[in-house]
Amino acid sequence: MINLAVVGLGHWGPNLARNIATLPNARLHTLCDVQPQRLEKLARLHTGVKLQQDYEAVLADSEVDGVIIATPVSTHFELASAALTAGKHVLVEKPLADSSEHCRELIALSEKTGLTLMVGHVFLFNAAVRKVKEYLEAGELGEVYYIYSQRLNLGIIRQDVNALWNFAPHDLSILYYWLGMPAERVVARGYSYVQPDIEDAVFMTLDFPGGVGANVHISWLDPHKVRRMTIVGSEKMVVYDDVSLDGRVVLYDKGVARPVQGNAPLGSYESFGEFQLLVRAGDVLVPKLDFAEPLKLQCEHFTHCIETGESPLTDGHHGLQIVEALEAAQSAMDQARDNAVPIGGGGTE
């Protein structure tokens, strides 16, 4: 049995503890939090589990094989590096750390110690996200043109990070997983309404190799809970809607065809009459999904990697790529207002 400790029992930690307690090859060994009332609450649900307020005591416990860190982003690097140094395998909730420099240090430390380092990009264990990946790998959509995403909610308003660092790791990790590559450039604009200098709404556009564009709209000040991503391809289009009850993935046989006239190559038409754009609308497919809780699959994957030594799907390098994108987007937001072009009388002649 792999003995695991969950560190941080705020919003997400209890869900991690619940799933670890169900794993056949792992044991929920320790719960750790600085607030005793959180420990007492979970102790009633998980009898026989060790309770600790002292993180150093968790790391000193030789029975603990790995730690799962679900604490504020600013603490991720310190807690994860201490765990790796103490010989513990580590799963850190997203994002991996608060800077790319810290991510690189964690990667180097995990490679030096030979320990598993994994980041909690839970949507990569979502059956709907994986179904879309299957369509892309099979070439169902043809050439991918662009992707747009909305992650909106009137929910928890954070004080430690803005909406970009809170929400965008989900969208970025999914985009990188689907496309199999990181973005090359990003432009972003953020708006702060509730708290000074903490962006509540962010609009971000990314350029991927091959001309693929992606737009991400994130906000925690929206009347609707939306978790939707759309991929537009040359042959088909697909919508992934995580809050849909009956159609989390919908594949549309829709596109725009440019028929070749005779033997004329594309782009060689001499008149509009020779060139036609045909909008094609075919069947709509809603695939059946065998849906298991993604968080449980993520925890299973973590223990599997500990047992086998395999590199996690969401390893330190994947976490680094996401944090690099977040840093670039944050920098773009910081510069956006100064670079905005005035409308009406402020442009060039």
CB 148, CB 201: distance < 8 Å: no
The kind and range of the H/E element at 333 are helix 316-339
Phi/psi at 211 (nearest 5 deg)? 85, 10
Q: Tell me which of 123 and 256 has the higher pLDDT.
A: 123
* pLDDT of 279 strictly over 70: no
DSSP letters of 222-244? EEEEEEEEEEEESS-EEEEETT-
2-123 with 127-294: one CATH topology?
no
Look up residue 9 and give its two tokens: 């029992």
Under 8 Å CB-to-CB from 210, ≥6 apart: which residues? 144
Query: Sorting pLDDT into bands at 50, 70 and 90, what band is 349?
Result: very low
CATH class assigned to 2-123: alpha beta
Closest by alpha carbon to 119, among 138, 98, 137?
98
CB 128, CB 154: distance < 8 Å: no
Task: Output the pLDDT for position 271.
Answer: 57
Least confident interval from 118-132, 153-167, 192-206: 153-167
Domain boundaries, the chain: 2-123, 127-294
Mean pLDDT across the chain: 92
Per DSSP bridges, beta strands 89-93 and 66-69 are: parallel
User: Looking at this protein, which amino acid is placed at residue 212?
Assistant: V
Closest by alpha carbon to 21, among 206, 293, 262?
293
User: Looking at this protein, which amino acid is placed at residue 320?
Assistant: L
Closest by alpha carbon to 322, among 153, 125, 177?
177
CA diameter of the chain: 80
The kind and range of the H/E element at 28 are strand 26-32
Least confident interval from 117-126, 164-173, 254-263, 295-304: 254-263
Chain position carrying tokens 């607030």: 35
* pLDDT of 47 strictly over 50: yes
* pLDDT of 268 strictly over 60: no
Average pLDDT over residues 293-311: 97
What residues pair up with 190 in beta bridges, in sequence order?
202
215-240 pLDDT per residue, tens? 999 999 999 999 999 999 999 999 99
Give the ranges where 114-214 is alpha helix by DSSP (H). 127-138, 163-179
CATH topology of domain 127-294: Dihydrodipicolinate Reductase; domain 2 (3.30.360)
Task: Output the pLDDT for position 146.
Answer: 98
Task: Output the pLDDT for position 110.
Answer: 98
Angle at 151 between CA 301 and CA 247, to 5 degrees: 75
pTM equals 0.91
309-332 pLDDT per residue, tens? 999 999 999 999 999 999 999 999
d(CA 68, CA 120): 9
Query: What torsion do the CA atoms of 229, 318, 32, 42 make, to the nearest 10 degrees?
Result: 30
CB 9, CB 42: distance < 8 Å: yes
